[in-house]
Amino acid sequence: MQLKAGGLLKKHILKKVFYLLLSFSIFLSACNWFKTTPEVGLVLSKHFKDKLYKDFDTAAYNVVFNRHFDSLKLKLSNPKVLGKYYADNERRTDLVTRFYVNGELDTLKNYISRSAAHGFNPQIFNCAVLEQLLAQLSAHQFKSISDVYPVIADLEIYSASSLLKYDTFIGYGSIIPKRVLNRYNVTTLRPDSASMLKVLESKDLLQLLAAIQPAGENYKILQQELANLKRDPSANAATIKTIEVNMERLRWKIPGIGEEYVEVNIPDFSLTWFNHQDTVTHMKVCVGGRREKEYEEKMKIFLKTHSLDDKPRNHQTPILLSKFNSIQVNPVWNIPVSIAQSEIYYQALRDPYYLSNNNMRVYYKGQLIADPDTIQWRKYPREHLPFQFKQGSGEGNALGKFKFIFDNGSSIYLHDTNNKSAFMRDSRAISHGCVRVERPLEFAEKLVDDKYQYDQLRMEVNLPPIDTTKMEVYKKRLAKKADTVNIYQVKPKWFGTKKNVSIFINYKTAWAENGKIEYRNDVYDLDEAIFNAMKKFR
């Protein structure tokens, strides 16, 4: 009995001790004796030498943060990315914790305040809001910790949004060119969610902001010119527009150009071959004619009537990037349907011998028509011509003796021409879209694999080889071509090109050359399209 009573007493005492400890722990908890101050509270407490920030309550702050984030969503840059980043509770004071005390949020604000040097209005990056929030936190005039929460929440959210937008606009450009420009067939890199998260996770904001700045010498010279022009903005308005548009072009990140490339600049009507930024050669080109005036309105009419008489002309050379893969010597011209309908049809209608006199062959369902001069053209509406047209190799071919080929979705290539006088014009936007080259033989020499290939190419166009040991071969070829009994038919022949030589058909109306700004006319009105898209950011 005594043993049993002793056990019950012991049990009763343990129960009392348990409840006593439980009550004590609840009491301590209520008194915040076990509360852990988050890092942001410790950092700000130390910085301001004020224990107020040690009362920072993460749960209470998160409620404020969530409410502010939801209310600001429509004003934020990339709210989905920001939402994903801040879905982690521990990140909701991330930028303030890392970059307020060391002054790097002030550095962000300073970079943004100078964004006019890039042609942007600093307020599109919330410059004034950031400045106000930083000043409010630095003033340190809070009566309670709850007064701090909305300031830190807004500073965190606006800093993150402004940083992402600044990184995108300065590092990649403010517009997506394919959405603004017709016939823009170049891949341009844009920041994705992964790269944006990486920006937000940066440990060194100062280094990140410096790396965002365009580093090319061309860009820096245009930037200096912009600063000079803005001293009298009203007098220099047109030139400022040109400079800002071309700075925007330089911000576009274009992968795959490589160290050796050929650049055709449409407004300059020129071709330049670069190798590690050294100029290998430079020559004139002819490019596609500009599209018809009021093109958009006329296209609406054409789409209703489907009459070719209503279809507006658009021969603009597209902006594209590719790599050369072959040279066709003595090329055959596969005449596009648009040219057949708009030009060849009328020529054949007026002159029944036009096709044979110009070495043009006509095909019907893939079969050659032996005598195209007998075709009754009036029987066929040009909207539904059942024929295909090709101009044979040799003298008179519109492509001349050389065709420089690269993959692209617009059937564009560089080529020789039988109309050399066109290169004497100042304005050379005259072709149907392809690019005519002033010195095609020189261009071919630089593009073929080796000297042997070049000699073979020369002999195909009745030029003697550079290697004199091949003169006998050359003479035999000439004799064969001169044979009046066995008539020689000129046929196309293909030659390989050097590997990895890019062709970049570009469009720029202002650039730095030998420390001086070169300006050209906006032949296709593309500057206007870009500037109109950028207006809201100025």
pLDDT in tens, 394-412: 888 999 999 999 999 999 9
Contact between 326 and 458 (Cβ < 8 Å): no
Q: Which helix (DSSP H) or strand (DSSP E) does residue 471 occupy? A: helix 471-482
Instruction: Please state the rounded mean pLDDT for residues 316-335.
Output: 96
pLDDT in tens, 281-295: 999 999 999 999 999
Contact between 386 and 364 (Cβ < 8 Å): yes
Which pair of structure tokens corresponds to residue 72? 């600001």
Instruction: Please state the rounded mean pLDDT for residues 104-119.
Output: 98
pLDDT in tens, 218-229: 999 999 999 999
Percent of the chain with pLDDT over 90: 80
Which pair of structure tokens corresponds to residue 5? 């009573």
Instruction: Please state the rounded mean pLDDT for residues 480-496.
Output: 80
Instruction: Please state the rounded mean pLDDT for residues 473-478.
Output: 91
Residue closest to 212 by CA, chosen among 266, 163, 153, 170:
170
pLDDT in tens, 410-444: 999 999 999 999 999 999 999 999 999 999 999 99
pLDDT in tens, 6-39: 555 555 555 554 555 445 444 444 444 556 899 9
pLDDT of residue 13: 59
Q: How far is the C-alpha of 438 from the C-alpha of 428, rounded, in Å?
A: 11
For residue 121, pLDDT over 90 is answered with yes
Contact between 121 and 537 (Cβ < 8 Å): yes
Instruction: Please state the rounded mean pLDDT for residues 353-380.
Output: 90
**β-bridge pairing 319-329 and 493-496:** antiparallel
Residue closest to 503 by CA, chosen among 437, 439, 455:
437
- Altogether, the residues listed in the chain come to a count of 538
pLDDT of residue 28: 42
Which pair of structure tokens corresponds to residue 162? 């402004």
- Residue 204 pLDDT grade (very low, low, confident, very high; cuts 50, 70, 90): very high
Q: φ, ψ for residue 329 (rounded to 5)?
A: -95, 140
For residue 62, pLDDT over 80 is answered with yes
pLDDT of residue 487: 60
Top-confidence residue, 301 or 482: 301
- Residue 265 pLDDT grade (very low, low, confident, very high; cuts 50, 70, 90): very high
Instruction: Please state the rounded mean pLDDT for residues 311-332.
Output: 95
pLDDT of residue 509: 98
pLDDT of residue 24: 46
Range 290-315 burial, b when 16+ CB lie within 10 A, else e = bbeeebeebbeeeeeeeeeeebeebb
pLDDT of residue 10: 58
Instruction: Please state the rounded mean pLDDT for residues 115-129.
Output: 97
Compute the mean pLDDT over every residue in the chain, rounded to the nearest whole number. Answer: 92
Q: Which residues pair with 510 in a beta bridge?
A: 519
pLDDT of residue 490: 85
Contact between 165 and 124 (Cβ < 8 Å): yes
CATH 2.40.440.10 intervals, the chain? 258-292+313-332+397-507
Instruction: Please state the rounded mean pLDDT for residues 374-386.
Output: 89
Contact between 162 and 130 (Cβ < 8 Å): yes
Q: How far is the C-alpha of 173 from the C-alpha of 171, rounded, in Å?
A: 6
SS3 102: coil
Of 53-57, 187-191, 292-296, least confident by mean pLDDT is 292-296
Contact between 341 and 387 (Cβ < 8 Å): no
Q: Using CB atoms within 10 A of its CB, is residue 164 exposed (0-12), middle (13-18) or buried (19+)?
A: buried
- Residue 310 pLDDT grade (very low, low, confident, very high; cuts 50, 70, 90): confident
Q: φ, ψ for residue 269 (rounded to 5)?
A: 50, 45
Q: Which helix (DSSP H) or strand (DSSP E) does residue 96 occupy? A: helix 94-99
For residue 379, pLDDT over 60 is answered with yes
**Is the CATH code 2.40.440.10 the one for domain 258-292+313-332+397-507?**
yes
Which pair of structure tokens corresponds to residue 343? 């030009």
Q: How far is the C-alpha of 238 from the C-alpha of 528, rounded, in Å?
A: 11
pLDDT of residue 352: 85
Q: What is the largest CA-CA distance in the chain?
A: 140
Specify the long-range contacts of residues 345-348, CB closer than 8 Å, at least 24 apart: 345/377, 345/382, 345/385, 348/372, 348/375, 348/377
Q: Which are the contacts of 145, defined by CB distance < 8 A and separation ≥ 6?
A: 52, 53, 55, 56, 57
Top-confidence residue, 4 or 337: 337
Instruction: Please state the rounded mean pLDDT for residues 309-321.
Output: 93
Q: Using CB atoms within 10 A of its CB, is residue 125 exposed (0-12), middle (13-18) or buried (19+)?
A: buried
Q: How far is the C-alpha of 345 from the C-alpha of 339, rounded, in Å?
A: 9
CB neighbourhood size of 361 (10 A): 18
For residue 273, pLDDT over 90 is answered with yes
pLDDT of residue 242: 98
- Residue 129 pLDDT grade (very low, low, confident, very high; cuts 50, 70, 90): very high
